[in-house]
């Protein structure tokens, strides 16, 4: 099966833009949709991006997702950073049998 | 409002068994795939198992295959995870998660989790 690799941590200032990458180890990133989940400390994960670039209702348009076949990676971009965005972010995809695969998670610090 | 409430976690000795339950409400349970995802203390998320709407398609992570069994009772709006031969590395917070369709590989709603502690 494939793996998804994320940076361990990123940090940026309020109001700025940050991008978190997620690289697929084998097979095409476009083979199966990529999702992004936000997990604040002590809370359950919530979906911020699904199907590569779709936002659930209630998620601000400051959050956007994309995939890049040339680098075989997905990206989560958060613009106009707020302190409330500080959380762990996980990318996730699945194989042809719907077996889930998560990235290791990225800790976003907004300082 | 979608609600997923897990139960059944607790302290168990290595080699013993435990059965987790997830009570679902706020949606038509038998229209959706369901999954278990776990998170070891201080670690990342790990998909454990998933089941399609009619139990026709079931999958397991290699780490639990042969030891864990997922099932659902659509009449009771409930999801289960039977965990046998538990190991120290199974210790984690176990989340019940709903898929967005009949048979799907991602999760649109999550429960609050139930903690499984494996220790002698």
- pLDDT tens, position by position, B97-110: 999 988 889 999 99
Question: Distance from CA of residue A94 to its chain's centroid?
Answer: 14
Task: Using a pLDDT cut of 90, give the percent of chain B over it.
Answer: 97
What are B54's two structure tokens?
A: 């009619």
3-state secondary structure (DSSP) of residue A85: helix
> Starting from the edge strand earliest in sequence, which strands make up the sheet with A18-24, in order?
A4-5, A18-24, A73-78, A63-68
Q: Quick one: which of B110, B108, B49, B101 has its CA closest to B80?
A: B49
Confidence (pLDDT) at B59: 96
Contacts of A101 in chain B (CB under 8 A): 47
Q: Which helix (H) or strand (E) holds B79?
A: strand B78-83
Q: Quick one: which of A67, A47, A65 has its CA closest to A56?
A: A47
Confidence (pLDDT) at B103: 85
pLDDT in tens, A4-35: 999 999 999 999 999 999 999 999 999 999 99
pLDDT in tens, A39-83: 999 999 999 999 999 999 999 999 999 999 999 999 999 999 999
Contact residues of B toward A, CB < 8 A: 33, 35, 37, 44-47, 50, 52, 57, 59, 61, 95, 100, 103-108, 110-113
> Which of A32, A90, A97 is facing B44, going by the closest CB pair?
A90
Contacts of B61 in chain A (CB under 8 A): 99
């Amino acid at each position: 099966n494939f793996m998804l690799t994320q940076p361990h941590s990123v940090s940026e200032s309020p109001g700025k833009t940050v991008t978190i990458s997620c690289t697929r180890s084998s097979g095409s990133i476009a083979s199966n949709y990529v999702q992004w989940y936000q997990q604040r400390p002590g809370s359950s994960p919530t979906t911020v991006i699904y199907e590569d670039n779709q936002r659930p209702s209630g998620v601000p348009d400051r959050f956007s997702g994309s995939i890049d076949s040339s680098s075989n990676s997905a990206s989560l971009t958060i613009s106009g950073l707020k302190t409330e965005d500080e959380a762990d972010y996980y990318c996730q995809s699945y194989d042809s049998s719907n077996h889930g695969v998560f990235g290791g998670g990225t800790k976003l610090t907004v300082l | 409002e979608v609600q997923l409430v897990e139960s059944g976690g607790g302290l168990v000795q290595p080699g013993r068994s435990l059965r987790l339950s997830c009570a679902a409400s706020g949606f038509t349970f038998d229209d959706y795939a369901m999954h278990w995802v776990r998170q070891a203390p201080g670690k990342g998320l790990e998909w454990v198992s998933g089941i399609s709407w009619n139990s026709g398609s079931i999958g397991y992570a290699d780490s639990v295959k042969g030891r864990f069994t997922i099932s659902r009772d659509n009449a009771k709006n409930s999801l289960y995870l039977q965990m046998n031969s538990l190991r120290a590395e199974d210790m984690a917070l176990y989340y019940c998660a709903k898929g967005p369709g009949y048979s799907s590989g991602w999760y649109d709603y999550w429960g609050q989790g139930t903690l499984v502690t494996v220790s002698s």
